[in-house]
Structure 1
Amino acid sequence: MRKNYLFILLCVFTLFINCSGGDDSATPSENVGPPAIKTGKLIGKVMSQNGTKPIGGASVFTFDDQYKIYYTTSDANGNFTLDAPAGNRTIHIQTGNGSNFRTEISATVKDHETLNLDVSQTKLNQVAKIAYVKGAYDKIEDIIQTLGYNATEITNADLANLTAIAQYDIIFLNCGSRNNYSSNPGLYTVIDANLAIFVANGGSIYASDWDVSYLVGGTSNTSNCSMTGGFVPDTKLCSKNIGSTGTLDATVNNAGLTTALGFNTLNINYDLGAWQKIINYDPAYWEVLVKETSSNDALMIRTNHFSATGIPTTPIGNAPNSTFVTVCITLPGNIQISISVPQVLVPYLVALGATVGPCSGSSTSGYIYYTTFHNHASGNIGNAGVILQYVILNL
């Protein structure tokens, strides 16, 4: 009986010690932690301004109250689904780095609910001022207008007037527009200097086929390397007018472009007899977007690495009046994206690791796109047409 009594006392004592807590804290529950983020889904379709063309490869994003980004891209048909934090949010839709084409939408996101955005909300707006120089074999302005955007025709005389071109963000140089060089070479010396200032200060340029001469020199086209004139260093690019008539099998060489287009191979028909063939280029300076499949010859290239000494600082396009700033944000998986955000957000994003300026290239340079093909009226360019739409929206 005494043994049983002692055993009972021992059990009671042990129970008392365990219940009192002592120095050892209880093991926390695995479920204890910050509350789960409440999110909903936004579904939509990015369209051109006139609502006729879906826009692939567009960035769609928003931020939560701690400035964490929620990001996705539209597919080749313009469709997107964005997981977004619950609450009243501003949804951003952009192409390129967002400095020239972008749209902002106010939306109320509810936890575990899906909100379908109307196509009237998801049209991509033009905030850039666009100009083009009329060409003999090319009409990029037709594609611009087909998308519902506006471009102003300017002349080579305008290109020689820095004040005239500084009001624009993008200038398209149609193939064959540099066709009276021999009659007034002094004019083109001024043009070359102005285009250097334009690009170095953030303006973007597209040139097609023969108009590579604006970039590297030459008259209506370039017949050799290191031609007189131009503003891109001769060591960076050489193109000769030796391309022959025929259809080339081409490969899209850029993941973003592939996503936007929905394909990575195409045929390009060169039917004008003589076109500019890229002979060599600096791969650290230029990115190849489209190449010939069999030879790997570059057919479409771009750069935002332009810089030169002695270039004056000149306000270009809408940049002086813009409240948006281009920043580089790193997504999970070490994926970097260049986007434009309202100035007020910049300090908070920088505190989270973002950097001001694009993710690559010069912090002040605009883009230069060059394609050996174009949308000449007599040609059958097929899928190259949607590539040119991409060029327009991503300058």
Structure 2
Amino acid sequence: MSRLMRISIPTIRVVPQITPGPPPPTVAEAVERVVAFLAPGNVAVLTGAGVSTDSGIRAYRGVEGRYLNPNFKPMFYNDLIEDSPRGHSFRQRYWARSFIGYPRILATRPNPTHAALATLMRTSHVSQLITQNVDGLHHDALRTKDPELHSRILELHGTLHKVHCRAHHTVLRDEYQMQLALLNPYWAELEESFRRTGNKPRTNPDGDVELEGVSFDDFEVPACPECQREGKVEMVMKPEVVFFGETISQQVKDRSYEVIEQADRLLIIGTTLATYSAFRLAKHALELSRPVLLLNLGPTRADGLPQLEKMVVSSGPVLQEAARQLASSRLSEDANLREVLEGGIVTSIEDV
């Protein structure tokens, strides 16, 4: 049966405040609980934007559940793909801002949470990982080209590192970025000036930046190169990211449910679960009587769900120590695994 998932925000959702619960656990208490939760293995993990904040990537929402940027105006799918002068204008705005912002996302590095989860995937304590993030940092943290390990990561909302047209011809983002630079030398100089001077515009989690008082009217958006090779002209290009108002593919929907159904328990990290595509996975796990443990610093959409266990903790120190304890026997013998666990770097948002 078809399962419907849609990313939509008819209004900017604010996660409601809840009655304060018990005091947050100490790091030691949280580590003990996470170790016990993960020790049996076959755990699915669901991550959100909070996991990447220690890599310098802003989350959409703060610890109070409110949008960190009150002026945030998301790009809607129908606006981006509209085949009209209006749609072209939206694409000029999106790609100009993304052209400036993408190098900052590309320069980010996995943090201790990414490193701990990569370690736990290598030791099979974590069987599969679903992420709402589009930055690719869970893949980077694995430090391997092993396709089997990478296949166990499902990017629920897509990735910034690929671009496709409406015929679903795919091009790597690095290649498309070069085309954007060649067609827009002024913008290439502007991006270089930001890099050189350290005058960094605010970068959003989806990879675009805040640019005030700038006209996008002259920005050139490249056509699909594969369509051109076929003698066609296709100007509607978008990153392989699920935009607001866009439906997640049936294949991704089905696989996300399979991950939950195949796992014995679910660990949720760094997300308010405000998007229903993620929230319904937590609900599905509970409906299947799977134990669910949520680590998040602020309120979430799942607060108050029966049987859901929540700890208000920062995931980095807790998961890193939990992974160290769970993988202790292998860490003493496997230098590569030690490099994975120790490979996380905390980066300030101001440094990106």
> Shorter-chain TM-score: what band?
under 0.3
Give the structure with higher Rg (CA): 1
Q: Output the TM-score relative to the length of structure 1.
A: 0.22
The structure in which a higher percent of residues are strand is: 1
Looking at both structures, which has the greater relative contact order when contacts are Cα pairs under 8 Å and sequence separation is at least 6? 2
Q: TM-score, normalised by structure 2?
A: 0.24
